């Protein structure tokens, strides 16, 4: 079922980019239109997922441990830590 409602308005609604009046018209339409309500729910879930993903922060010793392994794997490669500069 296609209702022809401007989906960009739904995106703008999610991003809080609408005026109060536009927002109210989206609210009203979505309340009575299952198609758009579903669209909105899907989009909101995607945005929610993006918000929930924690920024990848490895444990504190992870990078150092990795560097040590690299050094061990290539003996004589970088002996004076010149890569730090
Ligand atoms: Zn609709």
**pTM for the whole structure:** 0.53
Ligand 1 center to 69 CA (angstroms): 57
Class of domain 1-76: mainly alpha
Distance CA 24, CA 44 (A): 18
In tens, the pLDDT along 41-72 reads 988 888 777 666 666 666 666 565 555 666 66
Give the contacts of 23 (CB within 8 A, at least 6 positions apart).
13
Ligand 1 center to 30 CA (angstroms): 6
pLDDT at 78 over 60: no
Question: How do the domains of the chain map onto residue ranges?
Answer: 1-76
Ligand 1 center to 75 CA (angstroms): 65
- Token pair listed for 53: 């993903």
């Amino acid at each position: 079922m296609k209702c022809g409602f401007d989906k960009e308005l739904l995106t703008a609604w999610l991003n809080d980019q609408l005026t109060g009046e536009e927002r109210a018209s989206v609210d009203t339409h979505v309340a009575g239109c299952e198609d758009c309500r579903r669209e909105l729910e899907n989009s909101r879930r995607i945005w929610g997922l993006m918000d929930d993903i924690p920024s990848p922060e490895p444990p504190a010793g992870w990078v150092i441990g990795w560097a040590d392994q690299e050094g061990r794997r290539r003996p004589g490669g970088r002996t004076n830590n010149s890569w730090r500069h």
